[in-house]
Amino acid sequence: MSKLKVLSQDDLATISDDFGEILEREVSKALPSKEIEDLDLDIVLSYEDEQLDVDVDVGISFDELSDISKDQIAKAIDEAYLKFDSYIDENFRE
């Protein structure tokens, strides 16, 4: 695997925005949108010593009749991280 390029503040802002879009897309694909009342994403990027760490906190409010499980949410987040890894490889590696 190639090395992560040196990231600027603009790169970090782009990465955060794009990861948010990836997360929203994967959650929307995995969970019935009619059961989701609110989706709140908190993405925290840490970039030190040429290493990028990404933490996300996903807050989802469901319709009271929803039967969405935590496992479904975890799978959607895992899929988003896989797509995010590919995105980083394609756009931010030397």
Domains located in the chain, CATH noted: 9-91 (3.30.300.100)
Nearest to 53 by CA among 18, 94, 90, 4: 4
CA-closest candidate to residue 92, choices 44, 43, 54, 61: 54
Q: What pLDDT is stored for residue 29 in this prediction?
A: 87
Predicted pLDDT of residue 66: 79
pLDDT bin (cut points 50, 70, 90) of residue 1 is low
Question: Mind listing the pLDDT tens digit for each residue in 6-21?
Answer: 999 999 999 999 999 9
Q: What share of the chain has pLDDT > 90, as a percent?
A: 57
**Averaged pLDDT of the chain:** 90
pLDDT, tens only, 58-81 = 888 887 877 888 898 899 999 999
Residue 38 to residues 24, 35, 43, 88, Cα–Cα distance (Å): 11, 9, 16, 28
Return the pLDDT at 62.
81
What's residue 17's pLDDT? Answer: 95
